[in-house]
Structure formats: structure tokens, C-alpha cells
Structure 1
Amino acid sequence: MSSNSTADNLCAPDDNLCRIREYEQAVIIVPTLLLFATLVVLLFLFFKRYCPKRKRTRTAAPQRYHSSTHRHTQRNSHRHHLQGIDAPPGLDPLEHEELPMSVQQVQQRVVPTLAAVPQTSTQRHHGAFSQVTALPLSFSIKPDNTVTLYRARMDNRDVVLRVLKDTTNQSEKQHFLGFASFVSGLGPHPFLPALLGVVSVQSPLTMVVEELHQRDLLGFLWRCRQDNSGFETSCDMTEKRIFTMAGQVASALEYLHSQRCVHGNVGARSVLVGGDLTAKLWGLGSAYRRTTQVDSPGELEHMELRKWQAPEVLSRRDVSQSSDVWSFGILLYEMVTLGDPPFAQLMATELLQYLQRGKQLNRPASCSNSLYSIIKSCCQWDPRQRLSMSELIRKLQAGEKSANGRTVLRVPEPLNIEKYLREAGYGEAYNYAVL
């Protein structure tokens, strides 16, 4: 007998409440449970499909080391604070790595902060530093009181460690990590020093940069001033080498401009020289500060830089790509004079009026016509009349083909530091180090 006939037999024809109770389980409760179960299954599938999985983390190791790549940095450019640079291919970017540092004391007055790093071992030692020694400063213009420099070995190559001092405040820490992120974001270039990694999770915060053994170009030029025959023959500078090294710096500068980055501090002090005499452009601190600070137009960060700056910058207008071209012309002058300061006969405060009268850099005795014409084309009063970076590179490449590669440039006058500082416009003898 069907359920309908059963309900009819049990209930009176006009008793609707009785009929509802008899059909409640079959018609109302079971479908409701089935609908609820369906919704639960759909909701579970939705969360499983669209909600991200939690990342694995390990808390046992105290530090992380990540090698820098331009691609990963662009992908993570939304980060407010740098928390390490992404790992290279083949490494797990979630793996925390210890960086054991064995410090060799080379100067009694130097107390390396790296000694405070825990010495516990981890499963992998990729990127571990060894042979860490204090990096001696030669002669410096303006020391960075927040950073200590070390020379070290990492992955069978020489590196320089820029270690943030423990005495720095939170603002200086953010500036340090921000600068590391800025340099990483510029991406790799053959004539920019390679940023090999950043330790950013635990103190001491450290930037790892490739070491260029000849250090800064200005000091290199000074070592070339006198005959070093039999002692350091690699120091010999010829006009051909000037064109070659200048072309390398110009290539790096053109790349920075393509990244919408104006250097603003081009000079021999901002170029590093490798053991094979490859020149690489550094000194990016000014470029980074302009991205983080709202300064008045053309404000000079250091009065000592005036003799390297274009007239519009001296007039407190904006630094531009053409301003870098002007400074590049001054760099060529430094190279051909083996480190002489520009406009040596002038006070820095007299320079703008001197240029307004149409005056230019005097031609050095050892400078060829082709090289001097490039210097003059870079140092035009009107920015629109200066060479573009592409034109500058073409002229340097053409000059390299015809330049004298045999005659070594010499300056018989020994270097006088006090005279240099005075003629370059420095108020007092700072120490300078671009790393």
C-alpha cells in the first residue's frame, strides 16, 4: 500500500495538519538535508580552489641569505620593507640559511661586528663567508659612519661586505635595506658591480657586493701618475685604455637612464676598477636618496661635488640625464690628467659665473684632439647641445679604434693631497670610499 493511501486512512479528509505531519520526513526533512550537504561540499571545493596555501616556515635557523635577481625583485616590488632578496634557481627560497663568518683580525683597532653572528651549522652552507677581514680605507672624502666594510670569500670568489653597525637606529636600518632593494631593482649589468646577496632577517644587516680589486678609479689614477715600472705594470694608462674604460662607464650610465635612474654623482670617485681593469659605475647613494626624499630642485647634497656638477645643477635646478653627461665629461678630464681636479684655478663658488662667460675646461697637455672634442661636447652650457648617451657611446667606440695604445700617460708631479682637496673644492681632508 502506498504512503498516500496510508496517510488517507490515518487522517480524516478535512485534517490538513495530520497530512503535513505524515509527509514531513519524506517531503521536507530529507530534501533539506540533501541541500545542506550539497552546499557544504561546494563551499569546501571553493576554499580549496581559490584560497592560497600557507607557506612553509622554519624557525630554527637565525638568518636567511638570498641571491638577487631583477626578475624576482620586480615581482615583489610591492613590499614596504626588504626581507631578503629571492634565491637563485636551484635553491629553495623558503630555506633559512646560516651564514657562518670566521673573522681574521688584521688590525687591532678594528672590532668586526660579524663576530657576533651565531656559529651553529645548518644543512647547507651555500653562500657562507670565509676569510673575513677588515677592508682598509685608503684616502677618503666622506666616511659612512653607519657601515663597516669587510673583504671576504664566498663561493670561491672575493666579495665586499657592507655591514650595518649595531649602533644604527631604525631609520638608518630602513635606509640600508631600502638602498639594497633599490640596487637590486636596477637589475644586473656587466658594468655595474653585482649585488650578490643581502642578509636582512637578523643583525648584522649585510650587503654582499662583488669585489673589484683595484678599488676606486681616482685612487687607481693616482697610482698611475708616476712610473711604476717593475712594480705595478697593470697600472699603465694609455689613451686607448681611457676610451675603453670610459665606454664601459657610459654603457652603465645609459642603462641606468633606461631604468629612469639619474646617477647625479658621476666622477672618478664613483667608478670601481677590477683586476682586469674593467670599469664599473657605482656611487648610487645619491640616486637612491632622490627616490626617497623630496628635496628642493637642484639642491646639492655635498658642496664638495660642485666642480663635477652641470651649470643647471649649480643654479639649483633639477638633475637630469644631460647633467650626467656633463659630469661624464669631467670624468674624462680626470682620466686623461690621471686624477687632477677640474677647474683647479677656480674656487667652487666662482665656477657658475666662469661658465656663464662661455669658459670651458682647459685642454690637458696629454689630451688628443678627438678626446678633447668629446669632453667639450659633453660640457656644453645648453643641455640640449650636449651629446646624447647613444651619441657619446658611438664617439667613444670610434675613438677607441684609432686611439694610441702604446704611449703611457705620466704626470711627473707627485700627488699632494692637501693641494688636491683645496683645488677640488673640499673643505677638509675627509676619507673617501665608494663601497
Structure 2
Amino acid sequence: MIPLERLRDSFEGVIPSVIATTGADGMPNISYLSHVHYVDETHVALSNQFFSKTATNVARNGLATVMVVDGYSGQQHVLDLVFERSEMEGEIFERVAVHLAILESRMTGIMTLRAVDIYRVEDCQAVPAANPLVEAEPLVLPDLMGKVARLTARMSDCSDPEALLDVTLEGLAECFGYHHSMVLVPDGERDGLTTIASRGYDQFGFGAEVPPGCGIIGVAAERRRNVRITDLSRGQRYIQAVRAMAGVEDATPIPLPALDKPLSQTALPLISRGRLVGVLFSESTERFTFRHRDEEALTVIAAHLATALSFLSEERERTEMGRREKTETSADEVWSLPAGRRIAVRFYPRDGSLFVDDDYLIRGVPGRLLLHFLEEYTRTGKQDFLNREIRRDRRLQLPDFKDNLETRLILLRRRLEEKAGPITLERADRGRQRLTLAGRPEIEIVED
């Protein structure tokens, strides 16, 4: 029997599998399967969505034969299966459900998973090709753990979250060849995700949002599970689902960075102490960029990134709360706005959306933060803001638990830098933000 571990590329669902069963009268029945899932060295899982005849035959004798095809090499193998049990919850069920959720995308629920059937593999044999091509040498893939060690060592040297994000994405490109990647963090208000860092795209897309449960990124966050698709070329619905996920067809204020024709993608939830702190996403124009070994390597990197982000943010908060610094400008001082160009600022309290010179900038907590800075500036001339003071201001409506202020400020700074407008926000030093304006802001609050 050929070890199933050698057939991992045959369980990617790139090429449909075939399942054969036999009825009580000895009549064979053949159906197609979208996916056969690897469980362990002696078991596979099939989603319980068969045609009624296949289900009836399996219920009668518990036997089935499945042919799987390696989407990378084209090699075929036949598996003799014996039914063991059905599962409607648990690790294997969730893994299969995540896969179907990605394929279903915005369809009508026809692919909702009812159960997962677990089969014991009694035998696994290769199917000889009728007209074999020239014998190819077995593909030997290099080990990635050395690259993981080098990148995580770089990440460990970072002393602030912003540098950590940049080093991580740069390392994915330099060490692994993953040239199109991004990190998204929970927005804290709408249960979705917001892009805080990206690399390899024509536009950075800082502030671009992904709704909860939408596409590969939203599903990875919602289910808190790795999602990996090795070949998106199988059918137009895959491409449509990816483009819908990426916001290419949506009238979103800030489009999510996306390749025009991605052929492989992966998304990994960033979990720290049971809390979702973000999602690491990468995609490629090549098939099979993200194989099982890549997922294993990225899992280690994602875990390191999640822990480091949480630690650095909390360490900075502890440092800031221990300081006793004075602000430069007192509210009692006489202040008048300097002359200069008019900067039109429009703010919508309903969702925290903020526009500068009629151009959409950001919404949510980052939008309220910038409004706060601008109002303080127009009232007192204050330009330096301490993080510890920001956290105490209940008007900003920061979430009570783990406000992630540092990531919101990173997002705001990067969005302002990307827009290259008349307002900039810089980190003057640790725990201090400095507002700079090329003009005088005129703020309009729009209640709707």
C-alpha cells in the first residue's frame, strides 16, 4: 500500500475525484466528488453530499472506491475505502466546512455541509498511465524550517508593532518568495477586518475592509482556521468568489489590494491567548505556491506574529501608563488658527467616517481619533498627543477590552501618508503622536 502522506497533492481538490459504489443488485454507480480530504495515514474524509444512489450503496455495505488525481503531476491513485463513521462536529468537520464555505462564497447555501463521513483506507495503489510520458524525477521540495528560523529571528528584533509588520511582510517576500501579502486587524466595531499592512500591490490599500465571514480572509477570521487554495483556475466561480472577496466588484471606499488573476491563496488567523488579533494573507499568480509545507511554515510565522503584536502593544501601553509627562499646550492659553489654505474636514458620527477636502479618508476608531486631534488643534493649538491620554478619553469610544490603540494609530498614520494630503500624523517618540497640518482645518459634523 502506498502511504497516503505521499499523495497530499492529490487531496487539494484541483481535479475532481471519482467515487464508485455497488448496489444490492451488483450494479455499479459512479459519481464525481469535488474533494477528498486527507485525515491521517489511514483515513480520508468525504463530505456527506452524495447523490442518493451513492449514499444508499454505502449505507448497505460500507464500501467505496475512490480515484484521486494529483493536480500538480497528473498521477492517479485508487483508494479502497471502508466506511467507519459520520461526524457533524469537531476538527475534521470544521476543516471540511471551511473549504466548502470558501467555494460557496456568496452562493445560496446549496453547499451547506450536513456531515463528514470518515473512511478507513484499506489499500492505495497507483494507476499506470496507458501512454506514459518520459519518466520524471520525483519532485523533492526543500525544507522551509531554516527560513522560518531566520525570519522569526528578524521579527524578534523588532521593538514596535509597526516595524514588526513591515519586517514580516518583507521577510515573506525575500525568504519565501511570497511577494503579495497583507495583514488585516479586527476593526473592533463591525466584526470585520481592516488592512493595516501590505506588500507587492500597486496600491497599499491601508484601511480597506473585509466584512465578517466574506471570502478566504473573512472565513479564516470567523472560523479561526487556516484556509489554503492551491489552484483557483478550476472553474469561473472560484475566480468570481475571489474577486468578490477582494472588493474588486464592490463599491467600497478603499478597495482591498488584490491580484487580477490569483491562482493560489492562503489566509491564517493570528491568535494570541485565544483572541483574534488579525489575519495574515498571501496570494500568488502561480498554481501550487502554497503547499502543505508552506502552510506549516506560515503557521509558525503567524503564531510568532500574533504573540509579538500582542506583547509589543501591551508593553507599550504599560510603559505609557507609567509615565508622567506634561502636554506642551494648556487649554487655558490663548490660541488662534494660523493663516493658510482651508482644509475641509467632514465627519459622520454614525460610523466615524471622515473626509478631507471631499475625499474619503477613514472611518471607525481611526476616524474618531483624527477628529479628536483636529478639534484639539483648532481649540488649543495642541499638536502632540500622548497615547495614555487618548485611552482615557471616553468620547473616542475605544473598545473596553484590549483597545488595540497602537494598531489603530498605525492604520491612521499609514492612511494619511498614503493619501499625501495636507494632514500628517507622525510618531514623535514612544507613546506620542504629532499632528502636522499644511493649512487651517474647518470641521463640519454631519448628523444623518
Bin the TM-score by the shorter chain. under 0.3
Higher-strand-fraction structure: 2
Instruction: Provide TM-score, normalisation by structure 1.
Output: 0.26
Higher gyration radius (CA)? 1
The higher-RCO structure (CA 8 Å, 6+ apart) is: 1
Higher-helix-fraction structure: 1
